Structure 1
Amino acid sequence: MSTRSVLFDTETTGFEPLTGDRVIEIAAIELVNDLATGKEFYALLDPERDIPSDSTRVHGITNAHVEGKPKFAAVADEMLAFFGDSKLVAHNAPFDFAFISAELERVGRKPLDRARMIDTLPMAKARFPGMPNSLDALCRRFDIDLSARTTHNALLDCKLLAEVYVELTGGRQRGLTLDASPALAFAHYDKPATRTPRLIVPTSEQTAAHDAFVAKIKDNLWTRG
């Protein structure tokens, strides 16, 4: 049975959603059985306030970038439809939940249900206690390519976190794939194109050594009459 979840990330004007900071970017990707399907939601938003320069240094988004972009109210329904009733995965998820919930409440909608939250940060801390567990640190630890990440970008961060999440939940086994047919949705190992059996024939010396070894075993099965 397939399990759907949604991994998401936000970029914001600051750290305090209850004192005026707003969401300026939302990205989400669909996961089925913890693997990305390629389905995405993305929105760059007008936060209805200035973006501080300190925030711009983190995510690279300026006031000019969001000029003329939709406000949160215009994308709320599309975002909620993409979220559906799936579990919601994020790194330091309480931060993203708090911002999205604050935006939803501003437009008269219910906040996100925290029972749906899957936070990858405590998962990482449990696996790597006492070590840095930022997204960058985890990508380096799992040898995930960070070359495209010059600033915090919500959609790119989602794609990187999806790879990290696979590793935190067990790792993708080499050669293990998912059948693309919904009717045959099960894991299988790719078979080599050709396979030639090789017959192993022991030498007479090896056979004699084996017989001598077996003879030393008391009441062994091989020589029992």
Structure 2
Amino acid sequence: MKPFSDNIVFYDTEFTSLNPYEGEILSIGLVKLNGEELYLELECDAKPSDWVKENIIPTLKGPRVSREEAGRQVTKFVGDSRPYMVAFVNSFDAIYTYKLMGIDGHPFNWIPIDFASILFARDIDPESYLNKLAKDLGIDTSKYNVHNALDDARVLREVYLKLTGKP
């Protein structure tokens, strides 16, 4: 698989609810193609869903930054090259990023790339992404914490590199 562009950032977010009208972003993990990383946990007063209370909140251990500070750090990390945001099932990650930074204030290309759709188009079951595909590609998923935004972005990058044959 030859990608259209190498100007990409692997991206994942964790948030309080699947309902973007009620939810707020809790954490952001970004990994550049070269492996450079940024991880932020955000101050948040939104009420988390029961699933988030059980599965996400206990994993948040870092210092919290304000939404404004998170926006500044993401913008600085991403730079001005307007990279494509690559996320697994990007609809939620993109929406929560736009809520955080504004539709015109985020530093990414306006077209977010959905990795699940790439897998689907290659006749790979997107739901097998972590359990089967990563293992078939020789990736040790035991070193990653599921539903940690940075680890999710890391494993996405690792799978992408294997599928594209990039070093």
TM-score over 0.5 for the pair = yes
Matches within 5 A, 1:1-225: 3-17=6-20, 19-31=21-33, 37-59=34-56, 61-62=57-58, 65=61, 69-84=64-79, 85-105=82-102, 110=105, 115-129=110-124, 132-169=127-164, 171-172=165-166
Note the C-alpha offset of 1:120.
1.1
Cα distance, 1:165–1:121 mapped onto 2, change above 3 Å: same
- Please identify runs of 4+ aligned residues in structure 1 that moved more than 6 A: none
Give secondary structure in 2 for the equivalent of 1:156.
helix
Note the C-alpha offset of 1:156.
1.0
Q: For 1:75, give the aligned amino acid.
A: A
Q: Which has the larger radius of gyration?
A: 1
Note the C-alpha offset of 1:149.
3.5
Cα distance, 1:130–1:40 mapped onto 2, change above 3 Å: closer
Paired residues of 1:45 and 1:69 also in contact (CA < 8 A): yes
Q: For 1:72, give the aligned amino acid.
A: R
Paired residues of 1:30 and 1:38 also in contact (CA < 8 A): yes
Unpaired stretches in structure 2, ≥5 consecutive residues: none
Measure, in 2, the Cα distance between the counterparts of 1:6 and 1:113: 9
Paired residues of 2:25 and 2:96 also in contact (CA < 8 A): yes
Unpaired stretches in structure 1, ≥5 consecutive residues: 32-36, 178-225
Give the number of aligned pairs.
161
Percent identity over paired residues: 25
Higher RCO (CA 8 Å, separation ≥ 6 residues): 2
CA-based RMSD of the aligned residues comes to: 2.8
Q: For 1:159, give the aligned amino acid.
A: R
Paired residues of 1:101 and 1:112 also in contact (CA < 8 A): no
Measure, in 1, the Cα distance between the counterparts of 2:23 and 2:137: 33
Note the C-alpha offset of 1:104.
1.7
TM-score normalised over the length of structure 2: 0.80
Q: For 2:7, give the aligned amino acid.
A: R
TM-score normalised over the length of structure 1: 0.61
